Amino acid sequence: MEMKTLYLSQEDVKNVGITMADIIDAVEKGFVEMGNGRVEMPPKPGIHPGEGGDNFIHAMPAFIPAMKSAGVKWVSGYPVNQKKGLPYIMGLLMLNDPETGMVKSIMDCVWITAMRTGAASAVSAKYLARPESSTIGILASGVQAHTNLEAMNALFP
């Protein structure tokens, strides 16, 4: 077996061509697996370096056997970065082969995180919103406002 790790930048990840509808479907499947106790996802350890106390760096490991998915997201959030022209959220997602442990890919997780968060909101609305609803209110700004609206539009055109 050849050991090969794929490295994907944020631009590479965006250009894969996965749609919000695909992401919503994957998130829903993951939620079903989690709800049925078939996901290994320990509490995320975190550190909080820097001034101000609002900074974080978290490790978020998970294993979903039904999706043949194992990996860890290493993500940071630094509110002051916006004043420096840097994103608030940054990080990497490392996926492993669940059968061998080999690192299959290392990729930027900023776009993935934003899209997954919007998709999670849409899955929640699918089951919790009134069927006759025709109006949405989004209490967010920036990236989360956009991805939540995109996800709702994908699920409720």
Token pair in block for residue 111: 């776009």
C-alpha dist (Å) from residue 60 to 31, 51, 98, 145? 16, 23, 16, 23
Q: Is 73 assigned a catalytic role?
A: yes
* Bridge partner list, 46: 58
Q: Which of 5, 37, 25 is nearest to 115 (CA)?
A: 25
Catalytic residue among 14, 29, 73, 84: 73
- Say how many C-beta atoms besides its own lie within 10 A of residue 16's C-beta: 11
**Are the C-beta atoms of residues 12 and 107 closer than 8 Å to each other?**
yes
For residues 157 and 151, give the distance between their C-alpha atoms in angstroms, rounded to a whole number.
10
DSSP strand pairing (6-8 vs 46-47)? unpaired
For residues 125 and 118, give the distance between their C-alpha atoms in angstroms, rounded to a whole number.
11
The residues assigned a catalytic role are 73
